[in-house]
A = this chain, B = another copy of it.
Amino acid sequence: MKVVKFGGSSLATGKQLEKVFNIVTSDPSRRIIVVSAPGKRNAEDEKVTDLLIASGLHAMNGESPQPFIDQVIGRYRDIAEDLALPPTIIETIKDDLLSRVNGSQSDPEQYIDTLKASGEDNHAKLVACYFQMKGVHAKYMNPGDAGLIVTNEHGNAQVLPSAYNKLVELRDCEEIIIFPGFFGYSEEGDIFTFSRSGSDVTGSILAHAVKAELYENYTDVDAVFSVNPTFVEHPKEIKELTYREMRELSYAGFTVLHDEALIPAIQAGIPVQIKNTNNPAAKGTKIVNSRDNTNGPVVGIASGGGFCSIYVSKYLLNREIGFGRRLYSILEQYGISYEHTPSGIDDVTVIIRENQLDAEEENHIIEQIVSELQADEVNIQHSLALIMVVGEGMRHNIGTMARAANALAQAEVNIEMINQGSSEVSMMFAVKEVDEKRAVQALYNEFFQPASVLTV
């Protein structure tokens, strides 16, 4: 059986829902359908989720949420009218939405999460209604009834391992299941949303739970690109990549799939297929456990800005057992997680996401490192970008680093930092943010332009 997830743009209009219906019903093994809230119909449009958040914030501010609620209901109504659905479905959605917006605001995060989650929840009801109207044996499934129990973290909920014991029963459901993405319920029965792209998480969890043969993730691109298409025109599509490659690419800014959404599917060894709702004939990108390394050492290049480095030096640092641990404890006191820690002999640099620090905190941290660790020098460099060059087996391909470093030198990009050798599937470069685009272009040209591809 297959778990199939559709993104917001795939479910934004009645016309889109018809495509979804055709896709689902063209393969009888598509048994569990995870739906997002209606997304944008065009570049200027607003996502239903954003309208729901706005309504909640206005209500908490003592202002009327009604204009936003009206817009949300309007979106569902448009779709329902396009598809000639019975008007009762809009009444159902309206009642649900009003009970949420008029609910308790005593816990603001709970209030917002409950509202946000309605985007998916109500759309799942609408989609189920549509499928039923078309004569398909389908039903809406509430995540709480299905047993999707999560941790009490608003906007960052994690599935509890015990949830899988109940979710596995979805296998035995006779109907096609229409399951809302993005949220689960705490053990106390409250709604908690997942992080960004949370519908991907839901699909991934359900695929794990039912041991799906495939987790299909329908979005609005034909495939995952090998590089950010705003940096390189018409970049190559990736036909197949491994979980590890995907994860490394996601880390530094690939946006097709949510950074950590795949983890539950990965844990169960379930392949993931990225497909395009608007062009289901396109092969898409398959994410698998292992792949043949037949098209060069590099499968993709990702990058992202917003990093900074904290440099700490002290004579004889490498003789001091515990220095690193004490340094990281200081960062931990400020709730700072770090990404990488390249080191010299008498120095260590800690790479962190810049948004974790404000100027005041920065000064406190520097002072504390100097005073507690007797560091000789501490300084912070801002506005760095990390570039990940990713490819399975790359590590044992002699000369890959030389090609990458050459390409950057030719493009006159200074390499601020290299971290290579822990992961077998990536090389990481830090460059100044202003050099990011040029660096990525140079690396792409080196590894993906026809002259450089070893085997096609």
The interface of chain A, by Cβ under 8 A from chain B, is 247-248, 251, 260, 263, 266-267, 311, 315-316, 318-322, 324-325, 328-329, 332, 335-349, 395-396, 398-399, 401-402, 404-406, 408-409, 412-423, 426-428, 430
A311: B residues at CB distance < 8 A = 422
Partner of A345, one of B248, B320, B347, B416: B248
A135 CB, min distance to chain B CBs, angstroms: 43
A416: B residues at CB distance < 8 A = 395, 421
- Report Cα–Cα, A89/B422, bound state, in Å: 60
Partner of A422, one of B267, B347, B395, B396: B347
- Report Cα–Cα, A404/B336, bound state, in Å: 35
Instruction: Report whether A398 and B418 are in contact in the complex, using a CB–CB cutoff of 8 Å.
Output: no
Chain A interface, DSSP helix/strand/loop, else mixed: mixed
Using A260-B316, A263-B315 as known contacts, say yes or no to A340 and B338 having CB atoms under 8 A apart.
no
A396: B residues at CB distance < 8 A = 414
- Report Cα–Cα, A324/B323, bound state, in Å: 12
Partner of A321, one of B247, B335, B342, B348: B335
Instruction: Report whether A341 and B341 are in contact in the complex, using a CB–CB cutoff of 8 Å.
Output: yes
Residue of A316, A339, A415 ringed by the most chain B CB atoms within 10 A: A415
Partner of A325, one of B260, B325, B345, B346: B325
A454 CB, min distance to chain B CBs, angstroms: 14
Q: Give the 8 A-B residue pairs with the shortest CB-CB distance, closest first.
A: A417-B421, A344-B423, A399-B409, A402-B405, A349-B422, A402-B409, A325-B328, A402-B406
- Report Cα–Cα, A319/B405, bound state, in Å: 29
29 contacts between A and B (CB under 8 A): A251-B318, A251-B345, A267-B315, A318-B337, A318-B339, A319-B337, A321-B335, A321-B336, A322-B328, A324-B324, A324-B328, A340-B342, A341-B341, A342-B342, A344-B422, A344-B426, A344-B428, A345-B423, A345-B426, A398-B412, A398-B413, A402-B402, A402-B409, A405-B406, A406-B406, A417-B421, A417-B422, A418-B420, A419-B419
